[in-house]
Structure 1
Amino acid sequence: MVHLLVPGTGPDADREGDPQVGFVVSKAVGPAVARNRVKRRLRHQARESLSGLPGSAVLVVRALPAAADADYDALGVDLRRCLERVLS
């Protein structure tokens, strides 16, 4: 699940700077090792996708429990698909 706040449309309308990305990985995903693995993979995938975000955008990515069993490439495909959906 992905949420995007585009500059000029919310309470942080006057915020300037680079896009920010935050991750929500609950205990439902698994033990700490699995949660941290998911966060590391998502962080790396999101870094590659930041160029498609408007400047000073705020993106929140919530990992669902199935993310613990997904491989690196599958997480990347899902993240890009979600980004395309929120940007369109």
Structure 2
Amino acid sequence: MLPAQARLRRRPEFTAVVRSGRRAGRPTMVLHYLPERPAPAAGGPASSQAPPTGPRAGFVVGKAVGNSVVRHRVTRQLRAAVRAELHRFPPTADLVVRARPEAAAAGSAVLRRDLSAGMSRLLGDGSRSS
């Protein structure tokens, strides 16, 4: 499980990343990346909270991927893969991972490979850290 401060939760957060961010498509997923998250609107419910620190991630696994059991399995696999790679992003970054229907038949190793390749493409080749 990702810690609460590392998750995108609200629809406007997802929308901002998908509309304004960079995109990298892979066979099993599409990654949407926004290096600088927008400031929360003044007076909104989020303005009373401290701004999140550290990179955040959100997941979109629609019905095209499969039934509820399949969607939850894919979400768990993606969450584990992102948790291992989230350190590669700057602290102000947001990431949305949208699973494609092909993710249902892919194993964890394939999802991790596609995630890593997509992140390398979004961040540039020299961003790999050990």
Distance 2:107 2:90 in 1: 28
- 2:101 pairs with one of 65, 72, 78: 65
Report whether the alignment pairs 1:41 with 2:77: yes
Residue ranges of structure 1 left out of the alignment (5+ in a row): none
Give runs of aligned pairs for residues 1-88 of structure 1, distance below 5 A.
1-7=30-36, 12=38, 16-88=52-124
Distance 2:52 2:59 in 1: 21
Q: Is the 8 A contact 1:16 1:55 kept in 2?
A: no
Residue ranges of structure 2 left out of the alignment (5+ in a row): 1-29, 41-50, 125-130
Q: Which residue is 2:18 aligned to?
A: none
Bigger Rg, which one: 2
1:21-75 deviations in whole A, cap 9, x for unaligned?
0001010000000000000000000000011001021000000000000001010
- TM-score, length-normalised on structure 2? 0.62
Runs of 4+ aligned residues of structure 1 deviating over 3 Å after TM superposition are 13-16
Q: Is the 8 A contact 1:21 1:59 kept in 2?
A: yes
Q: Identity rate of aligned residues, in percent?
A: 44
